[in-house]
Amino acid sequence: MGPAGASTAYELSQLGMSVVAFDKQVHPRYKVCGGGLSARITRILPADFKTIVDGTVYRVQFNYGGTDSFILEFPRPVAYMVMRQTFDQWLVEKARQAGVEIREEESVVAIQDLGDGIEVATRKGRYRGRVVIGADGAMSVVAQQCFPGREVGNIPALESEYHGDTSHAFQDTQTVLISLQAAKKGYGWVFPKEKGLSLGVGEFVRGGNRPKRSFGDFISHESALAGLSIPSPLAHPLPIAHSPAYRSDYRWAGSLVRDRAILVGDAGHLVDPLLGEGIYYAVRSGQLAAASVASTLRDPRHRLEEYEKNAEAEFGLEFRVASRLGAIIYGLPRSCHWWAGRAFPDAYQRVLRHYCELLQGRETYQTLWAKILQRLKRPFGCSSPGR
Ligand SMILES: Cc1cc2nc3c(=O)[nH]c(=O)nc-3n(C[C@H](O)[C@H](O)[C@H](O)COP(=O)(O)OP(=O)(O)OC[C@H]3O[C@@H](n4cnc5c(N)ncnc54)[C@H](O)[C@@H]3O)c2cc1C
C-alpha cells in the first residue's frame, strides 16, 4: 500500500466499509521517489501530517541554461519534503487504526470476476469481495488483468539518496533546485532532506530517453553537488497520464473503472505529465474512489463509473494542459530557455512564479495557461480586458 491504497482503504473504512488490503512488502519500506509534496496536499491529508514532514520548502531555485539560475521565494510553503518510508507507514497506520485489515508480504497474483463478486488470489490464499481496487503502482497486476489493452505511458525516472552533510552546498532545507538543464526532455531535481538530499532526473517526452546519461551529466555538472559522493541511482517507471495535449474530445472512458475493478494512483496512471507529481493524485484519487465505492455498494442507483467521471472532471483538463506545457517546455532546446531567461527575465520568472503558486493550490493549470496566453498576446498589441 502506497499513498493511493492507504488513502482509499482509510476513507472506505471511515465510511463503514469492510476492507482487506494487501501489500507485497512490509512497511516501512523504501520507495524510489523524490518525496516532494506540493503544499496544496495539506488540504487533503489528515491534520497531523506535519509531524512527519522532513522539510518545508519556501524557495525554488531554477537552473535553466549554462550557469544561469534564479531563486523564487515565497512567504508561504511551496512544498513539503517527506521520506517515503515514513510517509507511507504513517498513512498505512491511519488505515489500520480506522479498522482496515492489512496483510503485508502478501502479493496479489490473480483477479477473477465471479459475476456477483470478485476473487483475489494472493501467494497465500484466496479472498472474495464486491469490488477490487488496484492501488498497486506503476506495474499494477490489477490493471494488467482487469484492463487489458489499456494504453500505458511509463517513462523511466531515476532517483538517488545522499545521506550526509550538505551544509556547504545547501544553506538550509528550505530550497529545492529544479534544473531544466539536467535532462534533454525533462528536468533534474535536488530536494533537501533533514539528513541529506534526494536527487534525480525524469524525462517526460517519450522517445530517445537517456535518463542514466542525463543523471551522470547532472551530478557531474551541478555545482551544488560538487564534492559529494552520490550513490548510483535507482530506476522506477513513472506512469504519466495519457492526456493528448490538443485533443479536447479525448475521454478517459474505461481507463479507471471496468466492471468491479477500479484503479487509483499510479495504477491508474494518475501522474502529472509536466512535473511527474504523483503523490497528490494518489491520495486524492483514493478519496474519490472510496466515496464512489461506498455509495455504489450502499445504493444500487449509484455506479462505480462515477469515480472515473469525478476523477476526469478534477484531473482531466488539468493533465491535458500540463501535457501541452510539457510539450512546449521539454520540446524546446535548452538554449531556448537560456535565451528566454536572458531576453525576457521578468516574463520567464513570472510564469515560473505562477507555477509555484499552482503547487500552493492558488493556481490551476487552466488559470496558468490563460495567463500565459494573455502574456503572449501583449507584445503584439492585443491588450486583454481589465488590464
Ligand atoms: C524517481 C521518481 C521520483 C518521484 N518523485 C516524486 C515526487 O517528488 N513527488 C511526487 O508527488 N511524486 C513523485 N513520484 C511519483 C510517486 O512516487 C508515485 O506517483 C506514487 O508513489 C504513487 O503512489 P501509489 O500508491 O499509486 O503507488 P506506489 O507508491 O508505487 O505503491 C504501490 C504499492 O503496491 C504494492 N504492490 C505492488 N504490486 C503488488 C502486488 N502484486 N500485490 C500486493 N502489493 C503490491 C507495492 O509494494 C507498493 O507498496 C516519483 C516517482 C519516481 C519514479
How confident is the model over 313-333, as pLDDT tens digits? 999 999 999 999 998 888 887
Quote the ligand 1 centre to 2 CA distance (angstroms): 6
Range from 145-154, 158-167, 168-177, 211-220 that averages highest in pLDDT = 211-220
In the predicted model, is pLDDT for residue 54 greater than 90?
yes
* CATH number of the CATH domain containing 58: 3.50.50.60
CB 206 within 8 A of CB 158: no
So what's the pLDDT on residue 333? 79
Strands lying side by side in the sheet with 79-81 = 36-38, 79-81, 55-57
Provide the percentage of residues in the chain whose pLDDT is more than 70. Answer: 95
The C-alpha atoms of residue 288 and residue 313 are separated, in whole angstroms, by: 11
**Which is more confident, 258 or 70?**
258
Q: Please, which pLDDT band fits residue 387 given cuts at 50, 70 and 90?
A: very low
So what's the pLDDT on residue 169? 64
Considering only 33-47, 68-82, 321-335, which range has the smallest mean pLDDT? 321-335
Whether residue 379 is contained in a domain is answered as no
The C-alpha atoms of residue 337 and residue 246 are separated, in whole angstroms, by: 23
So what's the pLDDT on residue 380? 47
Whether residue 186 is contained in a domain is answered as yes
Phi-psi region of 65 (alpha: psi -120 to 50; beta: other; left: phi over 0): left
In the predicted model, is pLDDT for residue 172 greater than 80?
no
Minimal-distance CA residue to ligand 1 atom 35:
136
Quote the ligand 1 centre to 279 CA distance (angstroms): 8
Atom of ligand 1 nearest to the CA of 136: 34
Whether residue 340 is contained in a domain is answered as no
Tens-digit pLDDT profile for residues 112-154: 999 899 999 999 999 999 999 999 999 999 999 999 988 777 8
Atom of ligand 1 nearest to the CA of 271: 19
Minimal-distance CA residue to ligand 1 atom 4:
33
CB 226 within 8 A of CB 255: no
Write the CB contacts of 245 (distance below 8 Å, at least 6 apart in sequence).
Answer: 320, 323, 324, 326, 327
Minimal-distance CA residue to ligand 1 atom 36:
136
Which residues face 202 on adjacent strands?
A: 157, 187
The C-alpha atoms of residue 59 and residue 105 are separated, in whole angstroms, by: 40
Whether residue 350 is contained in a domain is answered as no
Q: What's the total number of domains in the chain?
A: 1
| Angle at alpha carbon of residue 293, lines to 291 and 295, rounded to 5° | 70
Q: Please, which pLDDT band fits residue 162 given cuts at 50, 70 and 90?
A: very high
Atom of ligand 1 nearest to the CA of 36: 8
So what's the pLDDT on residue 151? 76
Quote the ligand 1 centre to 135 CA distance (angstroms): 9
Provide the percentage of residues in the chain whose pLDDT is more than 90. Answer: 70
In the predicted model, is pLDDT for residue 166 greater than 80?
no
Task: Report the pLDDT averaged over residues 352-365.
Answer: 95
Residue 150 phi/psi, 5-degree rounding, is: -70, 140
Whether residue 362 is contained in a domain is answered as no
C-alpha cell at 102: 492489512
Quote the ligand 1 centre to 138 CA distance (angstroms): 7
Quote the ligand 1 centre to 84 CA distance (angstroms): 9
Q: Please, which pLDDT band fits residue 167 given cuts at 50, 70 and 90?
A: low
So what's the pLDDT on residue 171? 60
Pocket test for ligand 1, best of 8, 11, 24, 104 (most atoms within 8 A of CB): 24
Pocket test for ligand 1, best of 8, 33, 215 (most atoms within 8 A of CB): 33
Tens-digit pLDDT profile for residues 261-298: 999 999 999 999 999 999 999 999 999 999 999 999 99
Whether residue 251 is contained in a domain is answered as yes
SS3 per residue for the chain: CCHHHHHHHHHHHHCCCCCEEEECCCCCCCCCCCCEEEHHHHHCCCHHHHHHCCEEECEEEEEEECCEEEEEECCCCCEEECCHHHHHHHHHHHHHHCCCEEEECCCEEEEEECCCCEEEEECCCEEEECCEEECCCCCCHHHHHHCCCCCCCEEEEEEEEEECCCCCCCCCCCEEEEECCCCCCEEEEEEEECCEEEEEEEECCCCCCCHHHHHHHHHHHCHHHCCCCCCCCEEEEEEECCCCCCCCCCCCCCCCEECCEEECHHHHCCECCCCCCCHHHHHHHHHHHHHHHHHHHHCCCCCCHHHHHHHHHHHHHHHHHHHHHHHHHHHCCHHHHHHHHHHCHHHHHHHHHHHHHHHHCCCCHHHHHHHHHHHHHHHHCCCCCCC
Whether residue 382 is contained in a domain is answered as no
In the predicted model, is pLDDT for residue 386 greater than 60?
no
The C-alpha atoms of residue 380 and residue 35 are separated, in whole angstroms, by: 42
Atom of ligand 1 nearest to the CA of 140: 38
Average pLDDT along the chain: 91
Q: Please, which pLDDT band fits residue 382 given cuts at 50, 70 and 90?
A: very low
Residue 116 is part of which domain span? 3-326
Task: Report the pLDDT averaged over residues 159-167.
Answer: 86
| Angle at alpha carbon of residue 159, lines to 8 and 156, rounded to 5° | 75
So what's the pLDDT on residue 153? 76
Q: Are strands 154-163 and 132-134 parallel, antiparallel or unpaired?
A: unpaired
CB 62 within 8 A of CB 70: yes
CA–CA distances in Å: residue 321 to residues 46, 151, 364, 370: 29, 19, 10, 10
Atom of ligand 1 nearest to the CA of 270: 19
Whether residue 361 is contained in a domain is answered as no
Q: Which residues line ligand 1 (CB under 6 A)?
A: 1-5, 22-25, 31-37, 107-108, 135-137, 141, 157-159, 200, 236, 238, 265-267, 271, 276-280, 282
Q: Considering only CA atoms, which of 330, 262, 322 is closest in space to residue 290?
A: 262
